[in-house]
């Protein structure tokens, strides 16, 4: 294979990789690692003291009761310690592009019983999470379309009390836009177009 052909293949491969590369999550502190909590313990924080998040108190755990985080060391209990009126609720707002698709994902599990439940809401779409169980993490993932230049993700408890609904590794990632996405057939087309341009250039140079 010629050097030109190798360069063409590498260039197309780089274009393909760039189009499908994962974007950094738009959620700040989605795995709740920025607050120190000693191993095998827990600590309640005001949401003002937890980077990225707003709302109710946030109770952060580190390997408490033998529960190991899905990501890093820390995770939260949505039904936090302390006084609260109404549902426990935390939220975070982030910049988005109107009409673009985003993937929301997180891990969740029950603390005491399998009847625990909470709601995740973003861009006027909501999901009721009531299938989590004691003893293992579940993974949630879904796609939404942004309807505004800023979008808010909210998590609301649907069961009362100060115990329940463990959550970790909250992420929102922008999906490749149609303008930059490249499918396998399109990649082959790039190869072909590049080779045709190279051949045309050679013919022009020879005719001079």
Pairing outcome for strands 125-129 and 41-45? unpaired
Q: What is the pLDDT of residue 23?
A: 54
Average pLDDT over the chain reads 83
Q: DSSP 3-state assignment of 169?
A: strand
State pTM to two decimals: 0.76
Domain boundaries, the chain: 23-175
* CA 192 remoteness from chain centre: 36
pLDDT digits (tens, 9 = 90+) for 134-171: 999 999 999 999 999 999 999 999 999 999 999 999 99
Percent of the chain surpassing pLDDT 70: 74
User: Residue 166: beta bridge partners?
Assistant: 77, 109
pLDDT digits (tens, 9 = 90+) for 59-118: 999 999 999 999 999 999 999 999 898 999 999 999 999 999 999 999 999 999 999 999
Domain 23-175: which CATH class?
Answer: mainly beta
Query: Measured between alpha carbons, how far is 156 from 8 in angstroms, rounded to an integer?
Result: 51
What's the distance, Cα to Cα, between the start and end of the chain in Å? 27
Cα–Cα separations (whole angstroms), residue 45 to 63, 93, 107, 168: 17, 19, 21, 16
Query: Measured between alpha carbons, how far is 118 from 160 in angstroms, rounded to an integer?
Result: 10
């Amino acid at each position: 294979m010629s050097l030109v052909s190798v360069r063409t293949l590498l260039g197309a491969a780089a274009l393909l990789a760039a189009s499908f590369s994962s974007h950094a999550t738009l959620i700040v502190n989605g795995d709740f690692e920025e607050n120190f909590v000693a191993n095998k313990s827990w600590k309640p924080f005001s949401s003002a003291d937890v980077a990225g998040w707003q709302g109710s108190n946030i109770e952060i755990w580190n390997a408490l009761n033998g529960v190991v985080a899905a990501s890093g060391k820390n995770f939260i209990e949505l039904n936090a310690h302390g006084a609260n009126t109404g549902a426990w609720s935390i939220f975070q707002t982030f910049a988005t592009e109107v009409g673009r698709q985003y993937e929301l994902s997180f891990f969740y599990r029950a603390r005491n019983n399998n009847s625990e439940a909470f709601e995740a809401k973003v861009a006027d779409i909501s999901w009721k999470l009531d299938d989590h169980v004691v003893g293992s993490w579940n993974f949630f993932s879904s796609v939404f379309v942004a309807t505004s230049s800023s979008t808010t993700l909210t998590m609301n408890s649907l069961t009362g009390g100060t115990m329940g609904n463990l959550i970790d590794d909250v992420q929102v990632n922008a999906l490749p836009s149609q303008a930059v996405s490249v499918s396998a057939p399109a990649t082959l087309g790039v190869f072909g177009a590049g080779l045709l341009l190279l051949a045309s250039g050679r013919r022009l140079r020879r005719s001079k």
